Amino acid sequence: MVRARGMGMRRLRDALVGAAGLAISALLLAALLLVLAYVFYGAALRFEPEMLLTMGNTTSGGLLNAIVGTWLLSGLALAISALLAIFVAIDIAQYAGARVGSLLRATVDTMAAIPAMVYGLFGFLVFVIYLGMGYSLLAGSLTLSLMMIPYLARSTETAMGNVPKELVAAAYALGASRWQVISRVLLRFGRPLIISGALLTVSIGAGETAQLLYTAGWNPGLPTWFTHSQVGYLTYVVWAGINQPTPYPQGLAFVASALLVGMILVLLLISKWLEGREVRRA
Amino acid sequence: MRSDGLLIRIASMIPVFFLVSIFIFLLYESIPSIFYNGWNFFTSYRWNPGITYQEPVPGPFGFRASPGASFGALLFLFGTAATSALALAIVVPVTLITTIALAMHTPRPMSRAVGASMQLFAAIPSVVYGLWGIVFLEPLLLKYVFPWTEATLGFIPWFRGPATSGSGLVASSLVLALMVLPITSAIVLDSFRSLQSRFQAPILSLGATRTEAGIAILGFARRQVVGAVFLGLGRALGETMAVLMTCGGAINVMPVDIYSPINTMAAALAALLDSAFIDASGMTLSALAELGLFLMIISLASSAAGRALAGRIVLRGEAW
């Protein structure tokens, strides 16, 4: 390790690496702040009240339909994926043996690594075309939920693993069935962390685009039904608006970005606050 | 197994079924394109749905496509490889040097705060990076960076220019680097810290400087470091929106220098799926499915390699 080199040279290199590393870290933080500041400042410059109060079509009008659409899509996707992910987590935690457990874990890890656009393509082929839903809330939410399952399954598994073993043993000792232990002990005491994971998952889902381009479509108004009625969403406004040559659509794109980033940061903060409170209690 | 267990097992197998069906479905959709295009898909860069308003004609193996259709994805494969490689060329040294600096040269509370803030990068949506790339990064590159590279590196043909747009390889790779960095740095910093308490004091007591000790500890964690790079690569290969917005959307023209528009597999999928509607033969859709299948295979392979080396994937937002 210690080469026969002058001590002065080695001290100098040490100082240089430390200084360069810290400078790069500071530069990265500056870049992060720059992205955030640029988005919020750009949005503030271009903001008009009607952007939040009226519906629009990415070139004129407002964002109300897109805001509602983003919540509808990520809310429904959360409901669908939570339903499936909770059972995956319960199976891993309480029922599965080594082989089924590793199959389920591998599935979750693999789903987390599939590119967003591949989900988009699959959702388009299966939900939109083969199942005939058309561009719609249901097709978009189903596609989005595929991408959410791994996040939820992982956080629910962690939440249930965090429940003290003594509680589980005590419940079994009192004669509780396995299902009673799951529903009354694991899910109840794991709830704060499960909710924290769900908020994190929604914050990621709300920022996704590629899954929705060819499954949700775009609607200048609100969807009228789950299928065959297109939905608008905020990330689409960012993509479509910023490529327009005129200032107003670009303003919409900036305001939509700021809304998205703001929403995501708030959800993340609540999620981390819940998580921190749980960890302190444990 | 009792009935509650059976019901739970059925529910928990639905995601497994979805995963298998994604693979089977894309493979099934790709079959016409795999036979029609053959190896051309990987060796040609010409992507042409053909004359879509004419009656489809039978091609190789009898699969029908519009007259003159040819689907070569080389441009997209090259773009994916080039953007990911350049992004990793930025990410890897930055990750290593910031890990040493944060873990060895910085007080613990401060380095924790810096590490956690870096994770915020992962929370910013892809389209917002795209917007930032278009309105901030691209003008910056075109106005200040590219004239400088043309002047100083212009003797190399790839840098000669003249640059006419800020979008392309450089903008896409820079944005990708910002998006991949939280993943690699979280994994590397984490595995560094798990070894640090055991090895730091003995190495320092041998007379090593903090940097030398950091390099040695990174050496012990090289498995995780390589794994982190693979996991980051898996993410970079599949990134769609930020690249779609900053790559310049090249099609049928191979890039000649670093200023040329390019395209990646994921971005091309997003941009070209529209064109599948006007091709009644269905061959465009099939070729895009083949592109998606190949993209899925390479990013899953990269992530699986990373997982095997570094342990389970750190999901976005999970690291802090």
The reply to whether residue B11 touches residue A84, judged by beta carbons under 8 angstroms, is: yes
The predicted pLDDT at position B115 comes to 80
Segment B244-257 mean pLDDT: 92
Q: How many helices (H) and strands (E) does chain B have?
A: 13, 4
Please count the other Cβ atoms lying within 10 Å of the Cβ belonging to residue B159: 17
pLDDT-derived band at B316, boundaries 50, 70, 90: low
Sequence-distant (6+) residues with CB within 8 A of A255 are: A43, A46, A47, A51, A52, A63
Shortest Cα distance from B157 to chain A (angstroms)? 30
Q: Which one of A21, A114, A265 has the shortest CB-CB distance to B101?
A: A21
Residue B312: band (very low, low, confident or very high) from pLDDT cuts 50, 70, 90: low
CA distance B58 to chain A (A): 24
pLDDT value at residue A11: 87
**Which one, of B242, B247, B271, lies nearest residue B259 by Cα?**
B247
Which pLDDT belongs to residue B2?
64
Higher pLDDT, B270 or B109: B270
Contact A114, B237 (CB under 8 A): no
Among A36, A125, A146, whose Cβ lies nearest the Cβ of B25? A125
Strands B57-58 and B47-48, by their bridges, are: unpaired
Q: How close is the nearest chain B Cα to the Cα of A277, in Å?
A: 14
CA distance A53 to chain B (A): 22
What's the pLDDT tens digit per position in B225-243? Answer: 999 999 999 999 999 999 9
- Does B127 reach chain A within 8 Å, measured CB to CB? yes
Distance CA B31, CA A61 (A): 44
Q: Give the pLDDT confidence of B272-309 residue by residue, as tens digits.
A: 998 888 888 889 999 999 999 999 999 999 999 999 99
Asked if B251 contacts B270 with a C-beta cutoff of 8 angstroms, the reply is: no
Q: What is the mean pLDDT, run by run of 10 residues, along chain A of 282 residues?
A: 68 87 88 91 92 89 94 96 93 88 92 95 95 96 95 91 88 90 89 93 94 94 92 95 91 96 93 86 70
Nearest to A113 among B203, B210, B303 (CB): B303
3-state DSSP assignment of residue B57: strand
My answer on whether omega of the bond before B162 falls inside 30° of 0, hence cis, is yes
pLDDT of residue A282: 66
- In B149-208, the residues whose Cβ lies within 8 Å of chain A are 178, 181, 203, 206-208
Number of Cβ pairs closer than 8 Å across A and B?
276
In this complex, the residue of B5, B134, B209 whose CB is nearest that of residue A242 is: B134
Q: Tell me the C-alpha distance between B173 and B66, whole Å.
A: 35
Name A19's Cβ contacts closer than 8 Å, sequence gap at least 6.
none
Residue B320 binned pLDDT confidence (cut-offs 50, 70, 90): very low
- Measure B135 CA to nearest chain A CA, in Å: 8
Structure-block tokens of residue A210: 């590629």
Instruction: Nearest chain A residue to B12 by CA: give it.
Output: A88
Higher pLDDT, B110 or B314: B110
- Burial label for A251, CB within 10 Å (0-12, 13-18, 19+), is buried
Give me the DSSP letters along chain A: ---SS-HHHHHHHHHHHHHHHHHHHHHHHHHHHHHHHHHHHHHHHH--THHHHS-B-SSSB-SHHHHHHHHHHHHHHHHHHHHHHHHHHHIIIII--HHHHHHHHHHHHHHHHS-HHHHHHHHIIIIIIIS---SSHHHHHHHHHHHHHHHHHHHHHHHHHTS-HHHHHHHHHTT--HHHIIIIIIHHHTHHHHHHHHHHHHHHHHT--TTTTTTT---SS--SSSSSS----HHHHHHHHHTSSSHHHHHHHHHHHHHHHHHHHHHHHHHHHHHHHHHHH-
Task: Locate the chain B residue with the closest alpha carbon to A260.
Answer: B125
Say if residue B218's pLDDT is above 70. Answer: yes
Helix (H, G, I), strand (E, B) or coil at B182: helix
Note whether A265 contacts B132, CB cutoff 8 Å: no
ipTM: 0.93
The average pLDDT across B186-214 equals: 89
Residue contact B269–A117, C-beta within 8 A: yes
